[in-house]
């Protein structure tokens, strides 16, 4: 009986000591984590390899660039995922601080400031592998009464804008909440093609193993520069200027091109 009590006491002592060590490690971890001066909310939607979730973490080219910019002003970055249309509204209202991959337009400049352009974004028409269209114009594709998937409130450039408002073609553009969903809509025969950034499109085909079912067509639309978009309602003054400066420095030093090349 005495031996049993001795073993019990030793067991309790060991467990207590281990618990104390774990608590100390946790406290040290918290203590070692530097305090941040602010927290910024970045809106995102799944657009691999620019913005996407991997193993529970939000990653991608756009995410990596902005995290480095936020570090320059000692800010944490929180993420909120919503459709692009809703994110634009939230940014206008100051509920979201920043969006990535945005084209500068007069309407957006009313409620947002922009960084220097940090990458170019063009669009390619992706179609079903069995589709026989081999032309190089979007109007030619539409003239065959074939439907094209687009993402709501994306800016695809002047050529697409004019076709979207053309009485003959306007009904052939089908909105979707995300570009990735549009790729599956091709397989479901809801649409015949989808306009997507070529890097994003090829990434989706590879990741979803769709490259034997969907292909890039010969339709390539001119590229346009995109920037980070900052809410005028929530980011101003020195904070805004430092974020803009850091992003411009990364562009000038080719750091962003190096990130893109890795993908």
The pLDDT tens digits for 196-253 are 999 899 999 998 999 999 999 999 998 789 999 999 999 999 999 999 999 999 999 9
Considering the chain, tell me which residue range(s) the CATH 3.40.190.10 domain(s) occupy: 38-119+225-262, 122-222
Q: Does position 13 have pLDDT exceeding 60, yes or no?
A: no
pLDDT above 70 covers what percent of the chain?
Answer: 87
Q: Is the pLDDT of residue 30 over 60?
A: no
**pLDDT for position 34:** 61
Rounded Cα–Cα distance for residues 105 and 155 (Å)? 9
- Whether 23 has a pLDDT exceeding 90, the answer reads no
- DSSP per position, 156-185: --HHHHHHHTSTTTGGGEEEES-HHHHHHH
How far apart (Å, rounded) are the C-alpha atoms in residues 189 and 115? 39
Task: Please give the CATH number for the structural domain made up of 122-222.
Answer: 3.40.190.10
pLDDT at 79 over 80: yes
Mean of the pLDDT values across residues 75-97?
Answer: 96
Q: Do 164 and 96 form a contact (C-beta atoms < 8 A)?
A: no
Which of helix, strand or coil describes residue 245? helix
Residue 263: pLDDT band (50, 70, 90) is confident
Q: What is the pLDDT of residue 224?
A: 84
Q: The whole model's pTM is what? A: 0.72
Return the higher-pLDDT residue of 31 and 135. 135
Thinking of the domain 38-119+225-262, which architecture would CATH place it in? Answer: 3-Layer(aba) Sandwich (3.40)
**The pLDDT of residue 37:** 83
- In Å, how far are 57, 92, 158, 179, 197 from 108, measured between CA atoms? 29, 9, 16, 21, 21
Least confident range from 15-24, 82-91, 142-151: namely 15-24
Q: 155 falls in which pLDDT band (50, 70, 90)?
A: confident
Give the pLDDT confidence of 99-121 residue by residue, as tens digits.
Answer: 999 999 999 999 999 999 999 98
Decide: 244 and 112 in contact? Cβ < 8 Å.
no
């Amino acid at each position: 009986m005495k031996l049993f009590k001795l073993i019990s006491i030793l067991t309790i002592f060991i467990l207590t000591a281990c618990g104390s060590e774990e608590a100390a490690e946790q406290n040290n971890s918290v203590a070692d984590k530097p305090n941040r001066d602010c927290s910024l909310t970045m809106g995102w939607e799944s657009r691999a390899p620019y913005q996407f979730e991997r193993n529970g973490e939000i990653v991608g080219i756009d995410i990596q660039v902005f995290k480095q910019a936020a570090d320059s002003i000692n800010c944490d970055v929180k993420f909120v995922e919503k459709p692009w249309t809703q994110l634009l509204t939230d940014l206008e209202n100051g509920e979201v601080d920043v969006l990535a991959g945005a084209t500068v337009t007069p309407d957006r400049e009313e409620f947002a400031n922009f960084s220097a352009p940090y990458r170019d974004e063009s669009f390619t028409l992706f179609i079903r592998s069995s589709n026989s269209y081999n032309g190089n114009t979007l109007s030619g594709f539409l003239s065959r009464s074939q439907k094209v998937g687009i993402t709501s409130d994306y800016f695809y450039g002047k050529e697409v804008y004019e076709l979207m408002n053309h009485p003959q073609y306007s009904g052939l553009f089908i909105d979707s909440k995300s570009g990735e969903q549009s790729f599956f809509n091709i397989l479901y025969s809801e649409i015949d093609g989808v306009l997507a950034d070529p890097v994003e499109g090829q990434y989706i085909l590879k990741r979803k193993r769709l490259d034997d079912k969907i292909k890039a067509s010969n339709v390539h639309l001119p590229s346009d520069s995109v920037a980070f978009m900052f809410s005028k309602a929530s980011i101003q003054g020195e904070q805004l200027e430092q974020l803009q400066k850091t992003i411009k420095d990364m562009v000038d030093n080719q750091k962003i091109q190096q990130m893109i090349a890795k993908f």
